[in-house]
Amino acid sequence: MTTATATNLASDAMLSLYRTMVRINETDKAVTRGLSAGEIMFQYYPVGGQEAISAGVGAALRADDFVSTTYRGIHDIVAKGTPLNDIFAELYGKLPGTCKGKGGPMHLSDPASGLMITTGIVGAGLPIANGLGLAEQLRGTDKVCVCNFGDGATSIGAFHEALNLAAVWKLPVIFVCQNNQYAEYTSLAEYTLTKDFSKRAAAYEMTGVRVDGTDPVAVHEAATAAVARARSGEGPTLIEAVCHRLQGHSFGSDEGHMDAAALAAARSDTPVARFRRRLIDAGIATDAALKELEATIRKEIDAASDYARKAPAPEAAELYTDVFADTASIPDHVIATATPRAAGQYQPQSERMMTFGQAVNEALAIALEADKNVFLLGEDIADPAGGVVKTTYGLSTRFGRDRVRPTPIAEQAIVGAAIGAAMAGMKPVAEIMINDFLMVCMDQVSNHAAKLRYMSGGKTSVPLVIRTLTAGFVGSFGAQHSQSLEAWLAHTPGIKIVYPSTPAEAKGLLLSAIDDPDPVVFFESMRAYFAPGPVPEGDYRIPLGQADVKRRGKDLTIITYGWTVGEALAAAETLAKEGVDAEVLDLRTIVPLDVAAILESVGRTKRAIVLHAATEFGGFGGEVASIIHSRLHGQLAAPVARVGARYTPVPFAAGLESLHFPQANRVIDAARAMLAR
């Protein structure tokens, strides 16, 4: 383990390290005092014993470099230069806080100082840090990203995925493992046989360094070398900074799980006290000078606390701001107002026949050509493979592998990198090969992509698209490759959901999604993938949140999206022969939802069937039915009917699969029953 015995640092640099350590230590104390007094109330994770790590790393960075940290991260936040007034206002849940009181201590972010994310999920920041570094690599800058995490995160799959991807792409990321001897309430010996986490770097062919995390000079030296490697294009470094936590896992928690003798020894000689003696012994400062410095910092922190106490709280109107870039997309508002969506500029001059997949390919090519910030990443997307169903074929040959990037099989790494790059101003289009695989990276999708704008108080946006195939009802895939999970996503505020049914809509909606300022999950139905349809030439956009009437009718409305639009149209044709005139309304997007179109159509026909490929029980159709009943109560000729997949895993056997998924015959049966009432 590296410990600095001598240093070339000037006296003012040494004093600056101490100043940062004291500022961290006093901030930590002020927070715990406020909690003890009941003045503030939240879950807090003290950082006593880890001050030297943040001070040493922070001193090696420029103001424009990026930092990500975790819930035990107040030291990293202070060291990066976030103003104390802003920090304390956020801790008090006040409007002038870094995140307008919406993030709190576990989600602080301050892009102005380079603090891009504080995540409350263990290990989740590592894949996102890769994306921040990737954005700068693509731009050709020499900015770096430091990713801080605890030793417990080394047991998380995201740790492996992130380090592997960073090494493969030589990303300018410094991974700092702050090893404080405990993963929450579990000691090192109880959760790993590893004695030296830095040696794990060798598995990824990256530099690994183990350093005394109680010595800010040693940390600074290691960080400075790692930053130099990153800036020069030599790739990532894993730094393990070893220290000892000076208290329990969280404020107020017991310490019975801790080694009492080791804890007592660490408390008897804290990093702050040790470095203070070092400065005096080296003649860099006197005791009196340091006392004056410490008193000045305490006054600064007292002033910040006082500022936070007096600062205004966010008003009720702030509840809905920052969910999306535009509050008009929020379902609560859309349902309440049912405001018609503005008509788009979808006026094709000329069309050609092409498949759904070809239309997606063309949209991606147009976006890549038009905007240098657009890039693609995902498994097998580069030539010669060109994607699992050839959707991206030819794009890496045309635009290069920097912008059409094949990845390891690592969904957390893929989506995390896309999130980080989007936060840094890029427009990534990530491919998650099959819809079911979203479950593997759902934390990145629902806890990070969806929430970062809100948790940052609107200071961070995540303009990314996640393309994903739904492979149901095409045979041979079975239960783990055939689901349609839009209802899961719709339950997560902050994600837009697009689900086109035709090649023309796939192209126009995808181009709109890529230019959208919010995260979009873009569903592509494999069952509709190879059927040709007319597609306009050139660049055109279909607005998100605008449904389309695929067939006009007056007797009932079939509301649907994705491949089941075809089943709805087939059912409507059969019903027409029986004298029933059915309207088919294609939602095209789930969020934002075109409530006005739903109510207008059903308001005319007085009957509605909601159809989707996802499981009927708990499916999105239940939400649509509820909206119709609540807004058109008393006007309906019959209750809304739902037709979805049966409540079973998707069967492999063709006969059972056919029974599982909804088809035209079930829609017809539902319509007949409705009309017979």
Positions annotated as catalytic residues are: 481
Angle between helices 620-631 and 595-605 (to 10 degrees): 60
Beta bridge partners, 583, equal 557
**What is the spatial distance between Cα 59 and Cα 297, in angstroms, rounded to a whole number?**
18
Q: What DSSP element (H or E) covers 27? A: helix 11-36
Token output for 220: 């600074």
Name the residue among 592, 114, 138 with its Cα closest to residue 371: 138
Cα–Cα dist 112/67, whole Å: 11
Residue 668 vs residues 66, 552, 624: alpha-carbon distances, Å: 57, 17, 19
* CB of 109 closer than 8 Å to CB of 460: yes
The span from the CA of 86 to the CA of 78, in Å, is 11
> Which residue from 666, 646, 658 is spatially nearest to 558, judged by alpha carbons?
666
Helix or strand holding residue 467 (H, E)? strand 465-470
CA neighbor of 441 nearest in space, from 198, 173, 659, 161? 161
CA dihedral 276, 279, 285, 291 (to 10 degrees): 0
Lookup result for tokens 């995925």: 161
168-190 in b/e form (b: 16+ CB < 10 A) is bbbbbbbbbbbbbbbbeeeebee
The DSSP letter of residue 202 is G
Q: CA nearest 434: which of 403, 409, 406, 397?
A: 409
Q: What are phi and psi of 321, to 5 degrees?
A: -75, 145
95, 311 Cβ separation under 8 angstroms: yes
Let me know the angle formed at the C-alpha of 132 by 130 and 137, rounded to the nearest 5 degrees.
90
CA contacts within 13 A on the Cβ side of 552: 0
Q: Are 614 and 485 spatial neighbours (Cβ–Cβ below 8 Å)?
A: yes
Positive or negative: CA dihedral 17, 18, 23, 29: positive
Sign, Cα dihedral of 465, 424, 517, 125 = positive
Three-class SS of 510-524: HHHHHHCCCCEEEEE
> From CA 574, how far away is CA 665, in angstroms rounded?
9
